């Protein structure tokens, strides 16, 4: 089992560029989440999904879009990157009593 994987691990963007972060899990979990982690702040929920074909907004959804076309994949898109989106992004999937986190993607927007 690979668990939860994220692609890419690092990325540098210029303001206005777009990109997609890929999260994949092989545990057949229904629930998947995208978080961002910023210095001095706790993890914050961007978007989440309760199953294939469903998505919902979290605490800080502005500037991001998501898709869950396949159960095992949850994609996070930045249509027009801004410096305020510089952060470490974590994907997670959830079984009843445990969240499984990916290794994170460090994104810098110049």
Partner 1 sequence: KNEVEQSPQNLTAQEGEFITINCSYSVGISALHWLQQHPGGGIVSLFMLSSGKKKHGRLIATINIQEKHSSLHITASHPRDSAVYICAVDRGAQKLVFGQGTRLTINP
Binding site residues, partner 1, CB under 8 A? 31, 33, 40-45, 48, 50, 58-59, 88, 90, 92, 94, 97-101, 103-104
Q: Which residue's entry shows tokens 């690979």?
A: 2
By beta-carbon proximity to partner 1, the closer residue of 46 and 75 is 46
Q: Are 96 and 31 spatial neighbours (Cβ–Cβ below 8 Å)?
A: no
Q: State the nearest-atom distance from the C-beta of 84 to partner 1, in Å.
A: 19
Closest CA to 84 of 22, 32, 23, 41: 41
By beta-carbon proximity to partner 1, the closer residue of 62 and 96 is 96
By beta-carbon proximity to partner 1, the closer residue of 50 and 82 is 50
Q: State the nearest-atom distance from the C-beta of 67 to partner 1, in Å.
A: 19
Closest CA to 67 of 30, 22, 26, 16: 22
């Amino acid at each position: 089992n690979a668990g939860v994987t994220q692609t890419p691990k690092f990325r540098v963007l210029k303001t206005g560029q777009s990109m997609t972060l890929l999260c994949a899990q092989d545990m057949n979990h229904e629930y998947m989440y995208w978080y961002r982690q910023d210095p001095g702040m706790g993890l914050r929920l961007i978007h989440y999904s309760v199953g294939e074909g469903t998505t919902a907004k979290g605490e800080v959804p502005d500037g991001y879009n998501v898709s869950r076309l396949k159960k095992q994949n949850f994609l996070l898109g930045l249509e027009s990157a801004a410096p305020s989106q510089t952060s470490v992004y974590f994907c997670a999937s959830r079984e009843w009593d445990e969240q499984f986190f990916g290794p994170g993607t460090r994104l810098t927007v110049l």
